[in-house]
Amino acid sequence: MFRVQIKRIYLPRESADGYRVLVDRLWPRGVRKSEANLREWLRELAPSTELRSRFHHRPEHFGEFREAYRAELSRSPQALAFAAFCAQTVRTENVTLLYAAKDEVCNNASVLCEWIQQQTERGNKMENPMFCFQCEQTAGCVGCRGNAGVCGKKAATANLQDELTGALIGLARASEGGTRGTDATFRAVTEGLFTTITNVSFDDDAIRRQIGRTRAETAALGSACSACGASCGHGEYDLKALWNGDEDVRSLKSLILFGLRGMAAYAYHARMLGFRDEQVDRFFCQGLEAVGAELSMDQLLPIVLKVGEINLKCMALLDRANTETYGTPVPTTVPLSVEKGPFIVVTGHDLKDLQLLLEQTRDRGIRIYTHGEMLPAHAYPELKKYPHLKGNFGTAWQNQQKEFDAIPAPILFTTNCLMPPKASYADRVFTTEVVAFPGAVHIGEDKDFTPVIEKALELGGYAEDHPMTGINGGSQVTTGFGHGTVLSVADKVVDAVKTGAIRHFFLVAGCDGAKPGRNYYTEFVKQAPKDTVILTLACGKYRFNDLDLGTIGGLPRIMDMGQCNDAYGAIQVAVALAQAFGCGVNELPLSFVLSWYEQKAVCILLTLLYLGIRNIRLGPTLPAFLSPKVLKFLVENYGIAPITTPEEDLKTLLG
């Protein structure tokens, strides 16, 4: 029987330690990081600085400290998520909480251990515990269960998302696979699927309203299904039937469902710019019907690849929407420092929201900074025209609780990658579209950003210019190497390959995340030979995009192609190069080294599989929703493999 236990970090490591986690805020004196044998260092689980200073390891104050610390833990989404992780992990190994204090009884780790055990007991007694395994950080690489997920969402929220998905399947059935669907039908489906993506909505009331709109649209189609709970293949679907069903069928249906969720984000952004595709809209309904249907593996496999095919069409639609609206991206160097004075940080993916905010802040003395996946906005000509679009704030989404801590400016979240905000900046978080968090001010469909603007003026920004850097210490990054730019110099690229100046291309791309092991991508890029070129996109690039790797034949060795949906551009470049060399894409000197986190990465992976791309390296861990049998199929038919070490993978990929 495994358990959660505590141990001084100065004691020798033992096999019975299992999963070793340091839970102190400060690194212990005299311990080398290389010798600590940690799986994680979770500073955010430590007591607050104020509480720690009040206690200061005085035993007579421990009772008061214990109660105050337990209260902090109960308010912390990160602590609740870690408790859920522990509940799952102790099924296979111990979890050891490491601390530095000399007192083996009166210390923070003992309180944390006791609190986790009580949370686990409470979770085991829950009538409706959650189950979710749609993201890469899912507990124990198996699934989040109990009363909270690793992402910070609570069981009630997760169960409402399942209820919403079941209602969407009911709407898809009522639309008869989209054939009876209206524009309102397809908008409800797109918004509903987008709402269920990881890190989009933590607001139970907002999800309930989305469920209500979905059921109203089902009723508007004139179907009796919305009022019927029978298991006749009509009406809404209970997701428990999927989660508790055959693991191989569950695996394939999860690929379909999570792929649809990711694709819905792209369709949503295109729709906001006035672009729609009837085939894409209808397929959402067809795919949802398949999730709720009694189908065999042989019947589901073609639908899995169909998700990839339609997602390619959807990404092309969004690419056209962005470029026809804002122009073809051009290479642009973006500073990472923040100028003094009022400013607003805009994060997410929605370029339309950014443009509207730029318009409303024109001549207001407010500077606008992008964050995360919004960085590529700097490369679009129509957005570059705004002189107060100044630079990029911080790095990827998982660092926001540290980077936004006490920020003297508001943050506008336009899409996913919202983490539960810390108290130091919770009052300056604003959401819009389907993004929602309890207590945060939400900007509605009228897109009046006055509350955001007023908060920026109230906070005033930094008193002096505020220098910031990327993960590797760089002070600027470059973006804007979309397929239009790269293909405009295709002759130079082809010549460089033919002359041997460029030996190999690596597409090192995908989502970033908080789990240990993602520094692999930094080291991979650093160790890539000087005659290789790194193409990148999505937020995983923040692991290395501030590095200066020089140029080859006038071309930079790191080329940022844009947001995650700009995987379409990378595909277009690969296809064009294959045509130029008279070969297939798999015969090009090109390797795919991908990182994944959430559902948009799933639909992109399915598109690559639909195109027949082989030998993809995927990490930092493989999806928990891939059953052994489905994984074996992907390995045997597509050569998918997990990442190992940068040295071994470079050796293998370069032959």
| SS3 at position 570 | helix
Closest CA to 407 of 609, 503, 399: 399
Q: Within 10 Å of residue 424's Cβ, how many Cβ atoms?
A: 12
Report DSSP letters for 76-113, one per residue.
Answer: -HHHHHHHHHHHHHTTTS-EEEEE--S-SSSSHHHHHH
**CA separation, residue 20 to residues 151, 332, 483, 494 (Å):** 20, 43, 44, 49
Q: Answer yes or no: is pLDDT of 135 > 90.
A: yes
- As assigned by CATH, the class of the 155-325 domain is mainly alpha
Domain with CATH 3.40.50.2030 in the chain: 332-459, 480-653
What are the residues facing 370 on neighbouring strands?
Answer: 346, 392
Q: What is the pTM of this model?
A: 0.88
Q: Give per-residue pLDDT as tens, 379-426.
A: 999 999 999 999 999 999 999 988 999 999 999 999 999 999 988 999
Q: What is the number of helices (H) and of strands (E) in the chain? A: 22, 22
Record the tokens describing residue 585, joined without a space.
Answer: 């894409």
Q: Answer yes or no: is pLDDT of 153 > 50.
A: yes
Of the spans 27-41, 99-113, 246-260, which averages the highest pLDDT?
246-260
Task: Say which range, 281-285, 287-291, 339-343, 399-403, has the weakest mean pLDDT.
Answer: 399-403
In whole numbers, what is the pLDDT of the chain averaged over residues? 93
Q: Give per-residue pLDDT as tens, 64-90.
A: 999 999 998 887 767 877 887 788 788
Q: CB–CB of 394/400 below 8 Å?
A: yes
Q: Answer yes or no: is pLDDT of 225 > 80.
A: no
332-459 has which fold?
A: Rossmann fold (3.40.50)
Own/partner long-range contacts of 39-47 (Cβ < 8 Å, ≥24 apart):
39/516, 40/516, 42/78, 42/82, 44/76, 44/78, 44/79, 44/401, 45/73, 45/76, 45/78, 45/79, 45/82, 45/112, 46/108, 47/72, 47/108
What pLDDT, on a 0 to 100 scale, did the predictor assign at position 234?
Answer: 65
Q: Give per-residue pLDDT as tens, 582-602.
A: 999 999 999 999 999 999 999
Question: Residue 270 — φ and ψ, nearest 5°?
Answer: -65, -40
- As assigned by CATH, the class of the 480-653 domain is alpha beta
More confident call, 48 vs 231 = 48
Fill in the amino acid letter for 398: Q
Q: Give per-residue pLDDT as tens, 423-468.
A: 899 999 999 999 999 999 999 999 999 999 999 999 999 999 999 9
Closest CA to 11 of 28, 1, 25, 2: 28
**What is the Rg, in whole angstroms, of the alpha carbon atoms belonging to the chain?**
25
**How is the beta sheet containing 389-392 ordered, strand by strand?**
389-392, 367-371, 343-347, 411-413, 429-432, 441-443
**Burial call 83-113: b when 16+ CB within 10 Å, e when fewer:** bbbbbbbbeeebbbbbbbbeeeebbbbbbbb
Q: Within 10 Å of residue 221's Cβ, how many Cβ atoms?
A: 18
What pLDDT, on a 0 to 100 scale, did the predictor assign at position 222?
Answer: 76
